[in-house]
Amino acid sequence: MSKLARPLLLLPAAALSVGTAPRSHELDSTYGFGEYLQHFDKSYPDAAEYRRREERFSQNMEKILNHNKGRLSDTGAILDGGYVMGVNHLTDQYLDELPFGYDKTYHSSWSGQLMRGASKIERRLGESTTTSYSQPPDLEMKEVSSLPELVDWSAQGHVNPTIPQQGACGSCWTFALTATVESHLSIATDEPPMSLSEQSVLQCTPNPDHCGGTGGCKGATVEIGLNYIADLTAKKEGGMYNLSDVPYSPSTTLSCEDSTEGSTASVGVTGWTQLPTNDYKSVMNALVQKGPVAIAAAASDWALYEKGVFSSDDATVNHAILLVGYGIDEDTGEKYYKIRNSWGPHFGEDGYIRVLRTDEDSTVCNMDNDPLVGLACALDDSGNQIDVQPVEVCGASGVLFDVSYPVGVHKIDVADQS
């Protein structure tokens, strides 16, 4: 396998653009599918597929133009706050094609319900097979009003500036995990972020006895991946690898062992911390005191976002990403969370999205009424449906629901490996 820098894989649509696609204030109904294909270097030789993509593009263009009506000045400034939509490499994609990968069954809100099922579910959650390296939060819990108005770890140089592209694989959890480790190592060493491999996490993290899928591109969570890395570190059997040694290649048929053969792990962690569910104060303090955190979110409405402060009542949690900070929009006064996505630099604000924040976010909640989204299965050993109840998620897009970060991130001494 060639060992290259981080590629924008599985993006026949957007790896290279021809010309420049119009921005939100330049869009109107004359912008057609042919121009879009040129701008994002796409082609659909099959006539039926072409028609299907053109139909989806037209649907999304109508949605974009309707949403943006009256929201933009002639120069592109957003009027009266909020956000605007635009075209990107996802504009001709359907919802079930969007790159997510967060598996809810590993969060206690759902796993507690699923444990009422039979042994298949128990094995899947690995209740008795894996040492837990979870550590309780170690935070000085300050009032949010006493915290800085602005925290942006990306502006401080502690977030990898290369925006990754997970492609068609449900590997968001590996990208969120890798980004948090890169950032926490950068903060600990006061050095620029290393580029670490998502691939080794994707291929090697055990996901015992899934009922339909085995983790990897089928989805998991940041916490299960961090626990795996901590276990390797504790046993001196490995950790995380450099990206240049183990490049991202989700379609590879190589095994975990073959992908990492000849490479040496360079970074380890001693554990991980998961914050209390839906706890705004904990999240804000963690961002100030610890650094970026991995979060889960309801991201089904994100694909057409171009800029501004996004808000949505969507509560179907399905995506894992990196929360790098928070702030207040200088023009509108809107408070926001700043989030680094894994959908490439063409998405949003150069790969980022700002999501609406309020100081009451722990009570700004909705119910995730579609609990089977993000679950590989919810059947007992007899094939009967387990009655999985909705779960409350808080903050816009449910960003406070599942928040975690690595503990004890350090460079590995090669001589200390077994």
Token couple for 74? 């002639």
Classify residue 91 by its DSSP letter: T
> Which of 158, 341, 346, 366 does the annotation list as catalytic?
341
Q: How far apart are CA 248 and CA 175, in angstroms?
A: 10
Q: How far apart are CA 167 and CA 344, in angstroms?
A: 9
Q: How far apart are CA 194 and CA 117, in angstroms?
A: 42
> Which of 25, 107, 158, 319 does the annotation list as catalytic?
319
* 172 is a catalytic site residue: yes
Question: Tokens 């200088």 sit at which residue?
Answer: 330
Q: How many other CB atoms sit within 10 Å of the CB of residue 97?
A: 11
Looking at the DSSP assignment, which residues form a beta bridge with residue 60?
A: none
Token couple for 1? 């396998």
In order of start, what are the domains of the chain with their CATH numbers? 24-93 (1.10.287), 104-416 (3.90.70.10)
> Which of 60, 68, 88, 172 does the annotation list as catalytic?
172
Per-residue model confidence as pLDDT tens for the chain (418 residues): 334 444 333 344 334 445 789 999 999 999 999 999 999 999 999 999 999 999 999 999 999 999 999 999 999 999 999 999 999 999 999 998 888 877 665 566 555 554 444 333 333 334 433 578 999 999 999 999 999 999 999 999 999 999 999 988 989 999 999 999 999 999 999 999 999 999 999 999 886 544 323 457 888 889 989 999 999 999 999 999 999 999 998 877 788 888 899 999 999 999 999 999 999 999 999 999 999 999 999 999 999 999 999 999 999 999 999 999 999 999 999 999 999 999 999 999 999 999 999 999 999 999 988 765 544 445 555 666 666 778 899 999 999 999 999 999 999 987 766 5
What amino acid occupies position 298? A
Tell me if 81 sits within 8 A of 332, measured CB to CB. yes
Q: How far apart are CA 146 and CA 144, in angstroms?
A: 5
Q: How many other CB atoms sit within 10 Å of the CB of residue 236?
A: 14
Residue-wise pLDDT tens digits, 206-257: 865 443 234 578 888 899 899 999 999 999 999 999 999 999 988 777 888 8
pTM for this entry: 0.88
